[in-house]
Amino acid sequence: MVKVLFVCLGNICRSPTAEGVFRAVVRAHGLEEIIEVDSAGTHAYHIGEAPDARAQAAAVRRGIDLSELRGRQATRCDIESFDFILAMDRENLKYLRALSPPGQEQKIRLFLEFAPARPEREVPDPYFGGESGFDRVLDMVEEAAIGLLEHIQRERL
């Protein structure tokens, strides 16, 4: 089993989008019994909430349903138990590294490392912006999700 956790600030926009997209990629390759996928936030603001309506609408336009996901906060235990902890931006990365038990920090990376052809290394927070920000998140996340699956297939399976 390979366990993947996506992390952003609120766990209602970027990381549930990444979870939904990566789940779809994993399912399309018939690997859902082998790769476990989850998401969490660094902050507690949106615990128990469904993803932001704008994130859900943007995902539905690409055939992805996020409606069953619920916000939760990342814990130290998550860092112990997941193999890949993928931060959406450098703030999330810094927070997770500080939360990490000693010796586990190498599991925590920027998600966009897996989209090396893109110029960006951070998925920008779409929360305070317009609809187009959510489509941009999906463009980035779709590319990195494919790169991540290829990496896992190469290194872990």
Residues near ligand 4NP (CB under 6 A) are 8-14, 45, 125, 127
Contact 70, 10 (CB under 8 A): no
Q: Annotated catalytic, 14?
A: yes
Q: CB 102 → ligand 4NP: shortest distance, Å?
A: 27
**Active-site hit among 14, 38, 52, 78:** 14
The Cα–Cα gap between 12 and 7 comes to 10
- Quick one: 92 or 152, whose CB is closer to ligand 4NP? 92
- Quick one: 10 or 20, whose CB is closer to ligand 4NP? 10
- Find where tokens 């010796």 sit: 103
- Quick one: 8 or 24, whose CB is closer to ligand 4NP? 8
Q: CB 1 → ligand 4NP: shortest distance, Å?
A: 26
Q: Which residue type, as a one-letter code, is found at position 72?
A: R
**Active-site hit among 38, 78, 89, 125:** 125
Q: Annotated catalytic, 13?
A: no
Longest dimension (CA), the chain: 41
DSSP-assigned letters across all residues of 2-27: EEEEEEESSSSSHHHHHHHHHHHHHH
Could you tell me the two tokens for 23? 């789940």
Active centre residues (catalytic): 8, 14, 125
